[in-house]
Structure 1
Amino acid sequence: MADTVPGPFRMPVHRWIDVLTGTAVRSSHPLSPVTVCGYLRRTVPVLKTWHGDGIENLRAVTHDHITRAITELTGFPAQARSVALRSLFRALKREGLLFQDPARHIPVPAARTLPKPLHEDQLRGALRQIPAVRAQLTFVLAAVHALTVHDQRGLLMDDLDRAAGTLLVRRPGALVHTVYLDELTSRLIVLWLSERYRRWPAGANPHLLVTAHTALDPAHPPVSSSAIDRPLHRMGHQVGRLRRDRILDEARHNTDPLNLVRLFGIHPRTAMTYLCAAHPGRFRPDAVAP
Protein backbone atom coordinates (compact mmCIF):
# COMPACT_ATOMS: atom_id res chain seq x y z
CA MET A 1 0.00 0.00 0.00
CA ALA A 2 2.84 2.38 0.81
CA ASP A 3 4.31 1.87 -2.66
CA THR A 4 1.03 2.87 -4.31
CA VAL A 5 1.18 6.45 -3.00
CA PRO A 6 2.51 9.17 -5.32
CA GLY A 7 6.31 9.26 -5.58
CA PRO A 8 6.96 12.41 -3.49
CA PHE A 9 5.11 10.86 -0.54
CA ARG A 10 6.64 7.37 -0.50
CA MET A 11 9.71 8.09 1.61
CA PRO A 12 7.74 9.91 4.35
CA VAL A 13 5.11 7.15 4.39
CA HIS A 14 7.78 4.45 4.78
CA ARG A 15 9.35 6.46 7.60
CA TRP A 16 5.91 6.64 9.24
CA ILE A 17 5.62 2.85 8.99
CA ASP A 18 9.02 2.53 10.69
CA VAL A 19 7.74 4.62 13.60
CA LEU A 20 4.49 2.67 13.85
CA THR A 21 6.29 -0.68 13.84
CA GLY A 22 8.95 0.45 16.32
CA THR A 23 11.84 0.15 13.84
CA ALA A 24 12.72 3.85 13.50
CA VAL A 25 15.98 5.28 14.88
CA ARG A 26 14.14 6.64 17.92
CA SER A 27 12.40 3.92 19.87
CA SER A 28 8.61 3.81 19.86
CA HIS A 29 5.97 1.36 20.97
CA PRO A 30 5.17 -0.95 18.01
CA LEU A 31 1.55 -1.17 16.94
CA SER A 32 0.03 -4.36 15.61
CA PRO A 33 0.29 -5.03 11.85
CA VAL A 34 -3.51 -4.86 11.61
CA THR A 35 -3.49 -1.36 13.10
CA VAL A 36 -0.68 -0.19 10.82
CA CYS A 37 -2.49 -1.52 7.75
CA GLY A 38 -5.67 0.19 8.91
CA TYR A 39 -3.86 3.54 9.19
CA LEU A 40 -2.46 3.11 5.68
CA ARG A 41 -5.83 2.16 4.18
CA ARG A 42 -7.35 5.36 5.53
CA THR A 43 -4.44 7.60 4.56
CA VAL A 44 -3.44 6.47 1.06
CA PRO A 45 -6.63 7.79 -0.68
CA VAL A 46 -6.11 11.19 0.98
CA LEU A 47 -2.48 11.38 -0.18
CA LYS A 48 -3.52 10.55 -3.74
CA THR A 49 -6.17 13.27 -3.65
CA TRP A 50 -3.69 15.85 -2.36
CA HIS A 51 -1.21 14.93 -5.06
CA GLY A 52 -3.94 15.29 -7.68
CA ASP A 53 -4.61 18.78 -6.30
CA GLY A 54 -0.99 19.76 -6.95
CA ILE A 55 0.64 19.11 -3.56
CA GLU A 56 4.14 17.71 -4.08
CA ASN A 57 5.45 17.84 -0.51
CA LEU A 58 3.75 17.01 2.78
CA ARG A 59 5.23 20.21 4.20
CA ALA A 60 2.71 22.04 2.02
CA VAL A 61 -0.26 20.36 3.70
CA THR A 62 -2.17 22.77 5.92
CA HIS A 63 -4.69 22.50 8.72
CA ASP A 64 -7.45 23.24 6.19
CA HIS A 65 -6.37 20.39 3.91
CA ILE A 66 -6.64 17.92 6.76
CA THR A 67 -9.94 19.33 8.01
CA ARG A 68 -11.52 19.00 4.56
CA ALA A 69 -10.28 15.41 4.22
CA ILE A 70 -11.90 14.50 7.53
CA THR A 71 -15.20 16.32 7.05
CA GLU A 72 -15.79 14.42 3.81
CA LEU A 73 -16.76 11.52 6.05
CA THR A 74 -18.96 11.10 9.11
CA GLY A 75 -19.13 8.79 12.11
CA PHE A 76 -16.49 6.13 12.60
CA PRO A 77 -14.84 6.56 9.14
CA ALA A 78 -14.21 10.25 9.95
CA GLN A 79 -12.79 9.37 13.34
CA ALA A 80 -10.55 6.65 11.89
CA ARG A 81 -9.22 8.96 9.17
CA SER A 82 -8.56 11.70 11.73
CA VAL A 83 -6.56 9.35 13.98
CA ALA A 84 -4.53 8.06 11.01
CA LEU A 85 -3.67 11.53 9.69
CA ARG A 86 -2.76 12.76 13.16
CA SER A 87 -0.47 9.76 13.52
CA LEU A 88 1.19 10.42 10.16
CA PHE A 89 2.04 14.06 10.77
CA ARG A 90 3.03 13.52 14.39
CA ALA A 91 5.45 10.80 13.34
CA LEU A 92 6.97 12.94 10.58
CA LYS A 93 7.37 15.87 12.96
CA ARG A 94 9.06 13.59 15.47
CA GLU A 95 11.42 12.30 12.79
CA GLY A 96 12.38 15.82 11.74
CA LEU A 97 10.78 15.63 8.29
CA LEU A 98 8.35 18.45 9.10
CA PHE A 99 8.90 21.78 10.84
CA GLN A 100 5.38 21.84 12.28
CA ASP A 101 2.50 19.42 12.67
CA PRO A 102 -0.58 20.72 10.78
CA ALA A 103 -2.76 18.02 12.35
CA ARG A 104 -1.80 18.84 15.93
CA HIS A 105 -5.01 20.68 16.82
CA ILE A 106 -7.34 18.63 14.63
CA PRO A 107 -10.13 17.25 16.87
CA VAL A 108 -11.03 13.58 16.70
CA PRO A 109 -14.71 13.34 15.69
CA ALA A 110 -16.96 11.28 17.91
CA ALA A 111 -17.56 7.94 16.21
CA ARG A 112 -21.03 7.47 17.64
CA THR A 113 -23.40 8.62 20.31
CA LEU A 114 -22.56 6.95 23.58
CA PRO A 115 -25.19 4.41 24.59
CA LYS A 116 -27.07 5.22 27.75
CA PRO A 117 -26.15 2.88 30.60
CA LEU A 118 -28.84 1.01 32.47
CA HIS A 119 -29.95 2.73 35.65
CA GLU A 120 -30.66 0.75 38.79
CA ASP A 121 -34.42 0.74 38.24
CA GLN A 122 -33.93 -0.39 34.64
CA LEU A 123 -31.56 -3.08 35.85
CA ARG A 124 -34.09 -4.48 38.28
CA GLY A 125 -36.87 -4.13 35.72
CA ALA A 126 -34.84 -6.11 33.19
CA LEU A 127 -34.17 -8.83 35.75
CA ARG A 128 -37.88 -9.26 36.38
CA GLN A 129 -38.36 -9.97 32.67
CA ILE A 130 -35.72 -12.73 32.63
CA PRO A 131 -37.32 -15.92 33.95
CA ALA A 132 -34.30 -18.20 34.40
CA VAL A 133 -31.98 -17.68 37.37
CA ARG A 134 -28.86 -18.56 35.38
CA ALA A 135 -29.76 -15.98 32.73
CA GLN A 136 -30.36 -13.39 35.46
CA LEU A 137 -26.91 -14.10 36.88
CA THR A 138 -25.36 -13.84 33.42
CA PHE A 139 -27.11 -10.51 32.92
CA VAL A 140 -25.79 -9.09 36.20
CA LEU A 141 -22.25 -10.38 35.65
CA ALA A 142 -22.20 -8.43 32.38
CA ALA A 143 -24.19 -5.33 33.39
CA VAL A 144 -22.61 -4.81 36.82
CA HIS A 145 -19.19 -6.47 36.65
CA ALA A 146 -18.52 -6.15 32.88
CA LEU A 147 -17.66 -9.83 32.40
CA THR A 148 -17.52 -11.05 28.82
CA VAL A 149 -19.05 -14.26 27.54
CA HIS A 150 -15.58 -15.83 27.61
CA ASP A 151 -15.07 -14.67 31.21
CA GLN A 152 -18.35 -16.22 32.29
CA ARG A 153 -17.70 -19.51 30.54
CA GLY A 154 -14.43 -19.90 32.45
CA LEU A 155 -15.73 -19.13 35.96
CA LEU A 156 -14.91 -21.94 38.41
CA MET A 157 -16.68 -23.06 41.55
CA ASP A 158 -13.37 -23.14 43.43
CA ASP A 159 -12.82 -19.45 42.63
CA LEU A 160 -16.03 -18.40 44.35
CA ASP A 161 -15.54 -17.32 47.98
CA ARG A 162 -18.99 -16.56 49.35
CA ALA A 163 -17.65 -15.75 52.82
CA ALA A 164 -15.29 -13.09 51.44
CA GLY A 165 -17.75 -12.02 48.75
CA THR A 166 -15.26 -12.48 45.90
CA LEU A 167 -15.11 -14.28 42.57
CA LEU A 168 -11.86 -14.80 40.66
CA VAL A 169 -11.82 -14.36 36.89
CA ARG A 170 -8.98 -16.16 35.12
CA ARG A 171 -8.06 -14.79 31.70
CA PRO A 172 -5.40 -16.36 29.45
CA GLY A 173 -2.24 -14.26 29.40
CA ALA A 174 -3.49 -11.83 32.05
CA LEU A 175 -3.46 -11.48 35.81
CA VAL A 176 -6.29 -13.04 37.78
CA HIS A 177 -9.02 -10.44 38.24
CA THR A 178 -10.95 -10.30 41.51
CA VAL A 179 -14.64 -9.41 41.35
CA TYR A 180 -16.08 -8.07 44.60
CA LEU A 181 -19.67 -9.25 44.73
CA ASP A 182 -22.46 -6.81 45.51
CA GLU A 183 -25.63 -7.83 47.31
CA LEU A 184 -27.63 -8.46 44.14
CA THR A 185 -24.95 -10.64 42.53
CA SER A 186 -24.42 -12.60 45.77
CA ARG A 187 -28.15 -13.27 46.06
CA LEU A 188 -28.38 -14.49 42.46
CA ILE A 189 -25.38 -16.77 42.96
CA VAL A 190 -27.06 -18.35 46.00
CA LEU A 191 -30.27 -18.87 44.01
CA TRP A 192 -28.34 -20.36 41.09
CA LEU A 193 -26.33 -22.74 43.28
CA SER A 194 -29.53 -23.91 44.96
CA GLU A 195 -31.11 -24.63 41.59
CA ARG A 196 -27.97 -26.31 40.33
CA TYR A 197 -27.72 -28.68 43.30
CA ARG A 198 -31.44 -29.42 43.11
CA ARG A 199 -31.37 -30.29 39.41
CA TRP A 200 -27.99 -32.03 39.23
CA PRO A 201 -27.01 -33.20 42.71
CA ALA A 202 -24.42 -35.58 41.26
CA GLY A 203 -22.96 -33.01 38.89
CA ALA A 204 -19.19 -32.62 39.30
CA ASN A 205 -18.50 -30.02 36.61
CA PRO A 206 -16.07 -27.51 38.17
CA HIS A 207 -17.50 -24.55 36.23
CA LEU A 208 -19.87 -22.16 37.99
CA LEU A 209 -22.29 -21.99 35.05
CA VAL A 210 -23.57 -25.29 33.69
CA THR A 211 -26.43 -26.54 31.53
CA ALA A 212 -28.27 -29.81 31.27
CA HIS A 213 -25.68 -30.87 28.67
CA THR A 214 -22.57 -29.97 30.67
CA ALA A 215 -23.56 -30.56 34.31
CA LEU A 216 -23.15 -34.35 34.16
CA ASP A 217 -20.67 -34.56 31.27
CA PRO A 218 -17.59 -36.49 32.53
CA ALA A 219 -15.36 -34.29 30.34
CA HIS A 220 -16.43 -31.27 32.44
CA PRO A 221 -16.71 -28.82 29.51
CA PRO A 222 -17.63 -25.15 29.96
CA VAL A 223 -21.00 -23.95 28.73
CA SER A 224 -21.18 -22.81 25.13
CA SER A 225 -21.22 -19.15 24.19
CA SER A 226 -24.74 -19.49 22.84
CA ALA A 227 -25.93 -20.86 26.19
CA ILE A 228 -24.95 -17.54 27.74
CA ASP A 229 -25.94 -15.25 24.88
CA ARG A 230 -29.19 -16.76 23.64
CA PRO A 231 -31.41 -16.30 26.74
CA LEU A 232 -30.49 -12.61 26.87
CA HIS A 233 -30.94 -12.13 23.12
CA ARG A 234 -34.53 -13.27 23.49
CA MET A 235 -35.06 -10.38 25.91
CA GLY A 236 -33.31 -7.84 23.67
CA HIS A 237 -29.99 -7.75 25.55
CA GLN A 238 -26.41 -8.51 24.52
CA VAL A 239 -23.59 -9.40 26.90
CA GLY A 240 -21.09 -7.32 24.94
CA ARG A 241 -23.34 -4.28 24.89
CA LEU A 242 -24.10 -4.56 28.60
CA ARG A 243 -20.38 -4.80 29.35
CA ARG A 244 -19.49 -1.75 27.22
CA ASP A 245 -22.28 0.31 28.77
CA ARG A 246 -21.06 -0.56 32.26
CA ILE A 247 -17.45 0.45 31.58
CA LEU A 248 -18.52 3.61 29.76
CA ASP A 249 -20.76 4.60 32.63
CA GLU A 250 -17.90 4.18 35.10
CA ALA A 251 -15.57 6.13 32.78
CA ARG A 252 -18.04 9.01 32.64
CA HIS A 253 -18.10 9.27 36.45
CA ASN A 254 -14.43 8.57 37.21
CA THR A 255 -11.65 9.78 34.91
CA ASP A 256 -8.89 7.80 36.61
CA PRO A 257 -7.82 5.01 34.22
CA LEU A 258 -6.44 2.99 37.14
CA ASN A 259 -9.94 2.85 38.57
CA LEU A 260 -11.17 1.13 35.40
CA VAL A 261 -8.17 -1.22 35.44
CA ARG A 262 -8.78 -2.25 39.04
CA LEU A 263 -12.55 -2.44 38.79
CA PHE A 264 -12.84 -4.43 35.57
CA GLY A 265 -9.40 -5.98 35.12
CA ILE A 266 -8.96 -4.41 31.68
CA HIS A 267 -5.69 -3.33 30.04
CA PRO A 268 -4.59 0.28 30.64
CA ARG A 269 -4.87 1.03 26.91
CA THR A 270 -8.41 -0.30 26.90
CA ALA A 271 -9.16 1.91 29.89
CA MET A 272 -7.87 4.95 27.99
CA THR A 273 -10.01 4.00 24.99
CA TYR A 274 -13.13 4.14 27.16
CA LEU A 275 -12.03 7.43 28.73
CA CYS A 276 -11.47 8.94 25.28
CA ALA A 277 -14.98 7.83 24.28
CA ALA A 278 -16.56 9.14 27.48
CA HIS A 279 -14.65 12.45 27.48
CA PRO A 280 -13.74 13.27 23.86
CA GLY A 281 -12.90 16.88 24.73
CA ARG A 282 -10.53 15.96 27.53
CA PHE A 283 -8.65 12.89 26.36
CA ARG A 284 -7.12 12.44 22.92
CA PRO A 285 -5.75 9.16 21.59
CA ASP A 286 -1.96 9.05 21.23
CA ALA A 287 -1.61 7.46 17.81
CA VAL A 288 2.19 7.35 17.97
CA ALA A 289 3.15 6.28 21.47
CA PRO A 290 6.62 7.36 22.63
Structure 2
Amino acid sequence: MGHARPALLAWSERYDHLREVTRDDIVTALDELTGSRRSNLLVALRSLFSHAKKTGTIFHNPTRGIRVGQHPYGLAQRLDQDDVDQATAAATTPAARLVVMLAAVHAARTGAIRALLLDDVDLGNRRLTISGRTRPIDEFTHQVLLEWLDHRRTRWPNTANPHLLINQMSAHGTGPVSTIDFAKKKLRGQPATLERLRVDRQLEEALAHGPDPLHLAAVFDLDPKTAIRYAENARALLASTAEEQDPTSRDEPKGRNQP
Protein backbone atom coordinates (compact mmCIF):
# COMPACT_ATOMS: atom_id res chain seq x y z
CA MET A 1 0.00 0.00 0.00
CA GLY A 2 2.94 2.29 0.54
CA HIS A 3 3.82 2.05 -3.16
CA ALA A 4 0.21 2.62 -4.27
CA ARG A 5 -0.66 5.41 -1.82
CA PRO A 6 0.52 8.43 -3.93
CA ALA A 7 -1.47 7.26 -6.96
CA LEU A 8 -4.55 6.52 -4.85
CA LEU A 9 -4.41 9.96 -3.22
CA ALA A 10 -4.19 11.62 -6.63
CA TRP A 11 -7.15 9.62 -7.97
CA SER A 12 -9.21 10.37 -4.87
CA GLU A 13 -9.30 14.02 -5.86
CA ARG A 14 -11.03 13.15 -9.16
CA TYR A 15 -12.93 9.94 -8.41
CA ASP A 16 -15.27 8.70 -5.70
CA HIS A 17 -14.74 4.97 -6.28
CA LEU A 18 -12.08 2.56 -7.51
CA ARG A 19 -14.49 1.56 -10.30
CA GLU A 20 -13.78 4.91 -11.97
CA VAL A 21 -10.02 4.30 -12.33
CA THR A 22 -9.18 3.46 -15.94
CA ARG A 23 -6.33 1.74 -17.69
CA ASP A 24 -5.13 5.15 -18.92
CA ASP A 25 -4.92 6.32 -15.29
CA ILE A 26 -2.72 3.32 -14.48
CA VAL A 27 -0.46 3.90 -17.48
CA THR A 28 -0.12 7.62 -16.68
CA ALA A 29 0.92 6.86 -13.10
CA LEU A 30 3.45 4.29 -14.32
CA ASP A 31 4.89 6.63 -16.95
CA GLU A 32 6.08 8.98 -14.20
CA LEU A 33 8.29 6.22 -12.73
CA THR A 34 11.18 4.05 -13.88
CA GLY A 35 12.96 0.90 -12.76
CA SER A 36 11.95 -0.75 -9.49
CA ARG A 37 9.61 2.09 -8.52
CA ARG A 38 7.56 1.47 -11.64
CA SER A 39 7.43 -2.30 -11.14
CA ASN A 40 6.64 -1.95 -7.42
CA LEU A 41 3.71 0.36 -8.17
CA LEU A 42 2.34 -1.95 -10.86
CA VAL A 43 2.62 -5.01 -8.60
CA ALA A 44 0.88 -3.15 -5.77
CA LEU A 45 -1.94 -1.87 -8.00
CA ARG A 46 -2.37 -5.26 -9.64
CA SER A 47 -2.73 -6.88 -6.22
CA LEU A 48 -5.18 -4.20 -5.03
CA PHE A 49 -7.43 -4.31 -8.09
CA SER A 50 -7.32 -8.11 -8.30
CA HIS A 51 -8.53 -8.31 -4.69
CA ALA A 52 -11.19 -5.64 -5.33
CA LYS A 53 -12.51 -7.55 -8.36
CA LYS A 54 -12.49 -10.85 -6.47
CA THR A 55 -14.58 -9.34 -3.67
CA GLY A 56 -16.98 -7.60 -6.07
CA THR A 57 -15.85 -4.06 -5.24
CA ILE A 58 -15.07 -3.40 -8.91
CA PHE A 59 -16.25 -5.09 -12.11
CA HIS A 60 -13.16 -4.65 -14.30
CA ASN A 61 -9.48 -4.81 -13.41
CA PRO A 62 -7.75 -1.84 -15.15
CA THR A 63 -4.28 -3.34 -14.58
CA ARG A 64 -5.05 -6.44 -16.64
CA GLY A 65 -2.62 -6.85 -19.54
CA ILE A 66 -0.13 -4.24 -18.35
CA ARG A 67 3.26 -5.89 -18.13
CA VAL A 68 5.73 -5.47 -15.29
CA GLY A 69 8.69 -5.83 -17.64
CA GLN A 70 10.54 -3.14 -19.51
CA HIS A 71 8.35 -0.28 -20.68
CA PRO A 72 8.16 -0.09 -24.47
CA TYR A 73 9.40 3.26 -25.72
CA GLY A 74 8.94 4.70 -29.17
CA LEU A 75 10.95 7.43 -30.80
CA ALA A 76 10.10 10.67 -29.01
CA GLN A 77 9.89 13.80 -31.15
CA ARG A 78 10.69 17.38 -30.16
CA LEU A 79 7.76 19.64 -29.38
CA ASP A 80 7.01 22.53 -31.72
CA GLN A 81 7.74 25.95 -30.24
CA ASP A 82 4.07 26.86 -30.71
CA ASP A 83 3.09 23.93 -28.48
CA VAL A 84 5.50 25.09 -25.78
CA ASP A 85 4.22 28.67 -26.07
CA GLN A 86 0.62 27.46 -25.69
CA ALA A 87 1.54 25.49 -22.57
CA THR A 88 3.25 28.53 -21.09
CA ALA A 89 0.23 30.71 -21.86
CA ALA A 90 -2.13 28.13 -20.30
CA ALA A 91 -0.27 28.27 -16.99
CA THR A 92 -2.20 31.25 -15.65
CA THR A 93 -1.45 30.97 -11.92
CA PRO A 94 1.88 31.37 -10.07
CA ALA A 95 1.72 27.73 -8.93
CA ALA A 96 1.01 26.42 -12.45
CA ARG A 97 3.80 28.56 -13.91
CA LEU A 98 6.20 27.19 -11.29
CA VAL A 99 5.34 23.57 -12.12
CA VAL A 100 5.49 24.12 -15.89
CA MET A 101 8.83 25.91 -15.58
CA LEU A 102 10.36 23.12 -13.48
CA ALA A 103 9.23 20.50 -16.01
CA ALA A 104 10.11 22.44 -19.17
CA VAL A 105 13.39 24.04 -18.07
CA HIS A 106 14.77 21.59 -15.51
CA ALA A 107 13.07 18.34 -16.63
CA ALA A 108 11.81 17.76 -13.09
CA ARG A 109 9.44 14.87 -12.48
CA THR A 110 6.22 15.52 -10.57
CA GLY A 111 7.53 13.68 -7.52
CA ALA A 112 10.67 15.81 -7.46
CA ILE A 113 8.60 18.99 -7.80
CA ARG A 114 6.42 17.99 -4.85
CA ALA A 115 9.50 17.19 -2.77
CA LEU A 116 11.32 20.49 -3.37
CA LEU A 117 12.08 22.45 -0.21
CA LEU A 118 12.56 26.16 0.30
CA ASP A 119 16.15 25.36 1.27
CA ASP A 120 16.68 23.91 -2.21
CA VAL A 121 16.29 27.41 -3.68
CA ASP A 122 19.32 29.70 -3.36
CA LEU A 123 18.32 32.89 -5.14
CA GLY A 124 21.41 34.80 -3.96
CA ASN A 125 23.80 32.38 -5.63
CA ARG A 126 21.36 31.51 -8.42
CA ARG A 127 21.37 27.80 -7.59
CA LEU A 128 18.52 25.27 -7.49
CA THR A 129 18.78 21.73 -6.13
CA ILE A 130 16.43 19.10 -7.57
CA SER A 131 16.65 15.48 -6.41
CA GLY A 132 20.05 16.17 -4.86
CA ARG A 133 21.50 17.72 -8.04
CA THR A 134 22.37 21.43 -7.98
CA ARG A 135 22.00 23.45 -11.16
CA PRO A 136 22.22 27.14 -12.09
CA ILE A 137 19.12 29.32 -12.11
CA ASP A 138 18.57 31.05 -15.45
CA GLU A 139 16.74 34.38 -15.74
CA PHE A 140 13.38 32.80 -16.61
CA THR A 141 13.58 30.41 -13.66
CA HIS A 142 14.59 33.29 -11.40
CA GLN A 143 11.55 35.36 -12.43
CA VAL A 144 9.09 32.48 -11.96
CA LEU A 145 10.56 31.61 -8.56
CA LEU A 146 10.34 35.22 -7.38
CA GLU A 147 6.72 35.44 -8.53
CA TRP A 148 5.79 32.20 -6.75
CA LEU A 149 7.65 33.03 -3.52
CA ASP A 150 5.97 36.43 -3.37
CA HIS A 151 2.56 34.81 -3.91
CA ARG A 152 3.33 32.10 -1.33
CA ARG A 153 4.41 34.66 1.26
CA THR A 154 1.32 36.80 0.66
CA ARG A 155 -1.17 33.92 0.53
CA TRP A 156 0.19 31.92 3.50
CA PRO A 157 2.32 34.31 5.60
CA ASN A 158 2.26 32.14 8.72
CA THR A 159 2.78 28.68 7.24
CA ALA A 160 5.53 26.50 8.69
CA ASN A 161 5.58 24.14 5.71
CA PRO A 162 9.18 23.84 4.47
CA HIS A 163 8.20 22.75 0.94
CA LEU A 164 8.51 25.13 -1.97
CA LEU A 165 5.13 24.21 -3.47
CA ILE A 166 2.19 24.33 -1.08
CA ASN A 167 -1.56 24.70 -1.36
CA GLN A 168 -4.53 25.48 0.86
CA MET A 169 -4.39 22.06 2.53
CA SER A 170 -0.65 21.51 2.90
CA ALA A 171 -0.11 25.07 4.21
CA HIS A 172 -1.58 23.89 7.52
CA GLY A 173 0.98 21.10 7.88
CA THR A 174 4.57 20.29 6.98
CA GLY A 175 4.14 17.66 4.27
CA PRO A 176 4.30 18.04 0.48
CA VAL A 177 1.25 18.62 -1.68
CA SER A 178 -0.47 15.32 -2.45
CA THR A 179 -0.77 16.06 -6.16
CA ILE A 180 -0.09 18.66 -8.83
CA ASP A 181 -3.15 17.80 -10.91
CA PHE A 182 -4.08 21.49 -10.89
CA ALA A 183 -1.15 22.09 -13.28
CA LYS A 184 -1.95 19.04 -15.41
CA LYS A 185 -5.52 20.27 -15.88
CA LYS A 186 -4.20 23.55 -17.28
CA LEU A 187 -2.49 21.57 -20.05
CA ARG A 188 -5.25 19.04 -20.65
CA GLY A 189 -5.87 18.49 -24.34
CA GLN A 190 -2.64 20.16 -25.38
CA PRO A 191 0.35 18.46 -27.05
CA ALA A 192 2.73 19.89 -24.42
CA THR A 193 1.77 18.04 -21.24
CA LEU A 194 4.05 18.13 -18.21
CA GLU A 195 5.55 14.78 -19.19
CA ARG A 196 6.08 15.87 -22.81
CA LEU A 197 7.73 19.10 -21.62
CA ARG A 198 10.06 17.11 -19.37
CA VAL A 199 10.99 14.70 -22.17
CA ASP A 200 11.44 17.56 -24.62
CA ARG A 201 13.90 19.29 -22.30
CA GLN A 202 16.04 16.16 -22.02
CA LEU A 203 15.99 15.65 -25.78
CA GLU A 204 16.99 19.28 -26.25
CA GLU A 205 20.00 18.72 -23.98
CA ALA A 206 20.98 15.57 -25.86
CA LEU A 207 20.72 17.30 -29.23
CA ALA A 208 22.51 20.48 -28.12
CA HIS A 209 25.45 18.82 -26.32
CA GLY A 210 25.62 15.54 -28.17
CA PRO A 211 23.90 12.22 -27.40
CA ASP A 212 26.18 11.39 -24.47
CA PRO A 213 24.40 9.27 -21.82
CA LEU A 214 26.99 10.19 -19.17
CA HIS A 215 26.27 13.88 -19.68
CA LEU A 216 22.50 13.32 -19.53
CA ALA A 217 22.80 11.21 -16.40
CA ALA A 218 24.88 13.91 -14.70
CA VAL A 219 22.61 16.81 -15.68
CA PHE A 220 19.23 15.19 -14.97
CA ASP A 221 20.14 12.47 -12.45
CA LEU A 222 18.96 9.72 -14.80
CA ASP A 223 19.59 6.04 -14.27
CA PRO A 224 21.94 4.50 -16.87
CA LYS A 225 19.23 2.76 -18.91
CA THR A 226 17.13 5.90 -19.18
CA ALA A 227 20.16 8.03 -20.13
CA ILE A 228 21.11 5.53 -22.85
CA ARG A 229 17.54 5.53 -24.17
CA TYR A 230 17.52 9.34 -24.49
CA ALA A 231 20.94 9.29 -26.15
CA GLU A 232 19.77 6.70 -28.69
CA ASN A 233 16.61 8.74 -29.30
CA ALA A 234 18.74 11.84 -29.96
CA ARG A 235 20.99 9.94 -32.38
CA ALA A 236 17.93 8.76 -34.32
CA LEU A 237 16.60 12.32 -34.52
CA LEU A 238 19.96 13.64 -35.68
CA ALA A 239 20.19 10.92 -38.35
CA SER A 240 16.66 11.67 -39.51
CA THR A 241 17.44 15.38 -39.74
CA ALA A 242 20.59 14.68 -41.76
CA GLU A 243 18.63 12.53 -44.22
CA GLU A 244 15.98 15.23 -44.62
CA GLN A 245 18.65 17.82 -45.38
CA ASP A 246 20.26 15.51 -47.96
CA PRO A 247 17.50 13.19 -49.21
CA THR A 248 19.61 11.88 -52.09
CA SER A 249 22.21 10.45 -49.72
CA ARG A 250 20.11 7.33 -49.13
CA ASP A 251 19.61 6.63 -52.82
CA GLU A 252 23.11 7.22 -54.16
CA PRO A 253 25.04 3.95 -54.66
CA LYS A 254 28.21 3.74 -52.68
CA GLY A 255 31.51 2.97 -54.38
CA ARG A 256 33.74 0.20 -53.13
CA ASN A 257 36.05 2.62 -51.37
CA GLN A 258 33.25 4.68 -49.82
CA PRO A 259 32.57 4.14 -46.10
Same fold (TM over 0.5): yes
Q: What residue is the counterpart of 2:79 in the other structure?
A: 117
SS at 2:217 equivalent: helix
SS at 1:212 equivalent: coil
Question: In terms of Rg, which structure is larger?
Answer: 1
Residue 163 of structure 1 and its aligned partner are, at CA, apart by 0.9
Q: Does 1:185 align with 2:141?
A: yes
- In 1, distance between residues paired with 2:212 and 2:78? 20
- Contact 1:118/1:245, CA 8 A, preserved across alignment: no
Deviations 1:188-234 (A, max 9, x none): 0000000111111111110000111111x23x121122445434334
- In 2, distance between residues paired with 1:264 and 1:247? 8
Deviations 1:71-123 (A, max 9, x none): xxxxxxxxxxxx9xxxxxxxxxxxxxxxxxxxxxxxxxx9644322353x754
Q: What residue is the counterpart of 2:126 in the other structure?
A: 165
Distance 1:228 1:248, change over 3 A: farther
Deviations 1:119-163 (A, max 9, x none): 3x7544532332101101111110111000000000000111101
Q: Counterpart of 2:206 in structure 1: which amino acid?
A: A
- In 2, distance between residues paired with 1:197 and 1:232? 23
SS at 2:135 equivalent: strand
Q: What residue is the counterpart of 1:240 in the other structure?
A: 195
Q: What residue is the counterpart of 1:273 in the other structure?
A: 229
Alignment of 1:188-267 (within 5 A): 188-215=144-171, 217-218=172-173, 220-227=174-181, 229-234=183-188, 236=190, 237-253=192-208, 254-267=210-223
- In 1, distance between residues paired with 2:181 and 2:170? 11
Q: What residue is the counterpart of 2:8 in the other structure?
A: none
- Contact 1:209/1:223, CA 8 A, preserved across alignment: yes
Q: Counterpart of 1:221 in structure 2: which amino acid?
A: G
- Contact 1:166/1:181, CA 8 A, preserved across alignment: yes
Alignment of 1:51-130 (within 5 A): 112-119=74-81, 123-130=84-91
Q: What residue is the counterpart of 2:107 in the other structure?
A: 146
- Contact 2:87/2:187, CA 8 A, preserved across alignment: no
- Contact 1:229/1:238, CA 8 A, preserved across alignment: no
Residue 282 of structure 1 and its aligned partner are, at CA, apart by 9.3
Gaps in structure 1 of 5+ consecutive residues: 1-30, 36-82, 84-109, 171-175, 284-290
SS at 1:279 equivalent: helix
- In 2, distance between residues paired with 1:122 and 1:139? 13
Q: Counterpart of 2:150 in structure 1: which amino acid?
A: S
Distance 1:280 1:164, change over 3 A: same
- In 1, distance between residues paired with 2:169 and 2:237? 50
TM-score scaled by length of structure 1: 0.52
Q: Counterpart of 1:222 in structure 2: which amino acid?
A: P
RMSD of Structure 2 on Structure 1 (CA): 3.1
Q: Counterpart of 1:223 in structure 2: which amino acid?
A: V
- In 2, distance between residues paired with 1:112 and 1:214? 37
- Contact 1:129/1:235, CA 8 A, preserved across alignment: no
